[in-house]
């Protein structure tokens, strides 16, 4: 009988100890935060107030989006050690974006990338665009979507942070035909995904090609040469000395442009001769089907322990290694941006498609909708 009572008391003591240990353990586990959106005054352009919209997910990771240019001004992610680092290049002030930004973090359009000789023919009409890259048109011209103030809306969503941006590009803006209504939706999920959805409609036929032009650095500072990159593409668009496509698609397996298997960005960068030494090329993505989302690129950085997975439903990806950065720009937190301080992965249609019939069609017509989605997912290695 005494033995029975002894075991009974022992069991109660063990259960009590386990309950206390479990409660202590729970106290040590960081509790998830609820996601939130804050609106922060960033400046003013004319009579229009400019804001940063701060989207925080339940991990405490933060993306800040500006209604000027649709700019991703900051993307702060906890690295493997738990330290918060900003993985996109940019400026601390609105005036710097207005005065001399090399498209940091912005939305570009109506046509991302280059249109050769700043013009195209469509339905027996010839359209002459504003040249802003020598004799060519780049990223929408002199005043593309990166330089306009977007209207904003914050929808209710219990599962993620969302921000909607809209803009009416009037008929004749940058000499493009027709009124174009553009709608973007930024979503920052609790799975550390930044999702960008693009929608556009027109009342006259017009080519369209929209993308985001964020410069990434997964270490938060320094150069991106030690980042490892994989791109699911076996061909690139051959370009001339001005980076205008010739229409030819070139296989890349085994060459300096080959990222079919993951390898270090800096391994062969000095062999790549574009306008500036480095990568600035449109990769022809594998397995393209209209509006089919698939993973197209992977980037890893060992010192931070961060991985970026990129998915899109578009046929092209411009990989740009920050070749034109030259140390003349001072960015956030007084960081100097040197050549190769950041890289861009611009999901897109092909450059100069309006002038190359063999490329995927970029023209939409009244009653049609141009739409795409790109997903930037951050993980720990």
What pTM, to 2 d.p., does this model score?
Answer: 0.90
What pLDDT is recorded for position 187?
97
Q: Which two tokens stand for residue 190?
A: 């609790």
What pLDDT is recorded for position 299?
98
What pLDDT is recorded for position 116?
98
Determine whether 199 is exposed, middle or buried from the number of CB atoms within 10 Å of its CB (0-12, 13-18, 19+): middle
Radius of gyration of the chain (CA): 24
What pLDDT is recorded for position 32?
54
**8 Å CB contact between 317 and 233:** yes
pLDDT band at 186 (very low <50, low <70, confident <90, very high): very high
Residue found under tokens 């493009």 = 176
CA 165/CA 185 separation, integer angstroms: 6
What value does the mean pLDDT take over residues 111-116?
98
- 214-254 confidence digits (pLDDT tens): 999 999 999 999 999 999 999 999 999 999 999 999 999 99
pLDDT band at 67 (very low <50, low <70, confident <90, very high): very high
pLDDT tops 80 at residue 22: no
pLDDT band at 304 (very low <50, low <70, confident <90, very high): very high
DSSP, residue by residue, 34-57 = PPEEEEEEEEEETTEEEEEEEEE-
Known active-site residue 227: no
Mean pLDDT of the chain: 92
pLDDT tops 90 at residue 13: no
What value does the mean pLDDT take over residues 311-337?
97
Known active-site residue 346: yes
pLDDT tops 50 at residue 9: no
pLDDT tops 90 at residue 114: yes
pLDDT band at 7 (very low <50, low <70, confident <90, very high): very low
CA 203/CA 184 separation, integer angstroms: 19
pLDDT tops 70 at residue 14: no
What value does the mean pLDDT take over residues 127-132?
98
CA 61/CA 33 separation, integer angstroms: 10
What pLDDT is recorded for position 33?
66
Nearest to 131 by CA among 109, 110, 146, 115: 115
Helices within the chain (DSSP H only): 2-28, 94-100
What value does the mean pLDDT take over residues 89-97?
98
- 282-292 confidence digits (pLDDT tens): 999 999 999 99
What pLDDT is recorded for position 19?
41
Q: Which two tokens stand for residue 38?
A: 């804050």
**8 Å CB contact between 216 and 87:** yes
Catalytic residue among 162, 174, 301, 346: 346
- 149-181 confidence digits (pLDDT tens): 999 999 887 778 999 999 999 999 999 999 999
What pLDDT is recorded for position 35?
83
What value does the mean pLDDT take over residues 87-114?
97
pLDDT tops 50 at residue 30: no
CA 217/CA 106 separation, integer angstroms: 16
3-state helix, strand, coil in the chain (%, to 5): 15, 45, 45
What pLDDT is recorded for position 103?
98
pLDDT tops 80 at residue 5: no
CA 243/CA 237 separation, integer angstroms: 10
Catalytic residue among 174, 213, 227, 300: 213
Residue 365 is classified by DSSP as -
**8 Å CB contact between 348 and 314:** yes
- 346-376 confidence digits (pLDDT tens): 999 999 999 999 999 999 999 999 999 999 9
Residue found under tokens 């803006």 = 173
pLDDT tops 60 at residue 42: yes
Higher pLDDT, 24 or 258: 258
Residue found under tokens 């997975």 = 309
What value does the mean pLDDT take over residues 106-125?
97
Mention every residue, 6+ apart, whose C-beta is less than 8 A from residue 81.
Answer: 305
Give the dihedral sign, CA 170/174/180/181: negative
């Amino acid at each position: 009988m005494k033995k029975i009572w002894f075991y009974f008391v022992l069991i109660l003591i063990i259960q009590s100890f386990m309950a206390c240990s479990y409660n202590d353990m729970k106290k040590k586990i960081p509790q998830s935060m609820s996601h939130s959106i804050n609106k922060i005054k960033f400046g003013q352009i004319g009579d229009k107030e400019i804001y940063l919209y701060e989207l925080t997910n339940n991990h405490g990771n933060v993306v800040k989006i500006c209604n000027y240019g649709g700019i991703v001004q900051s993307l702060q992610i906890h690295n493997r050690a738990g330290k918060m680092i900003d993985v996109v290049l940019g400026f601390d002030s609105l005036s710097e974006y207005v005065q001399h930004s090399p498209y940091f973090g912005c939305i570009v359009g109506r046509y991302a990338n280059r249109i050769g000789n700043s013009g195209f023919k469509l339905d027996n009409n010839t359209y002459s665009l504003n040249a802003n890259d020598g004799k060519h048109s780049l990223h929408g011209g002199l005043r593309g979507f990166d330089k306009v103030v977007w209207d904003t809306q914050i929808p209710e969503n219990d599962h993620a942070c969302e921000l909607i941006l809209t803009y009416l590009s009037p008929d004749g803006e940058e000499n493009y035909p027709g009124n174009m209504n553009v709608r973007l939706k930024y979503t920052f999920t609790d799975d550390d995904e930044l999702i960008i959805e693009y929608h556009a409609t027109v009342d006259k036929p017009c080519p369209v090609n929209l993308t985001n032009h964020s410069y990434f650095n997964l270490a938060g500072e320094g150069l991106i040469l030690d980042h490892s990159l994989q791109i699911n593409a076996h061909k690139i668009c051959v370009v001339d000395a001005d980076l205008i496509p010739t229409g030819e698609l070139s296989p890349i397996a085994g060459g300096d442009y080959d990222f079919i298997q993951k390898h270090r960005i800096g391994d062969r960068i000095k062999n790549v001769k574009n306008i500036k030494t480095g990568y600035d090329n449109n990769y022809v993505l594998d397995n393209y089907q209209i509006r089919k989302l698939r993973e197209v690129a992977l980037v890893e950085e060992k010192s931070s322990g961060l991985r970026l997975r990129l998915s899109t439903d578009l046929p092209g990806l411009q990989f740009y290694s920050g070749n034109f950065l030259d140390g003349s720009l001072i960015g956030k937190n007084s960081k100097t941006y040197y050549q190769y301080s950041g890289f861009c992965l611009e999901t897109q249609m092909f450059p100069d498609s309006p002038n190359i019939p063999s490329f995927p069609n970029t023209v939409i017509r009244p009653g049609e909708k141009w739409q795409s989605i790109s997903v930037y997912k951050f993980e720990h290695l």
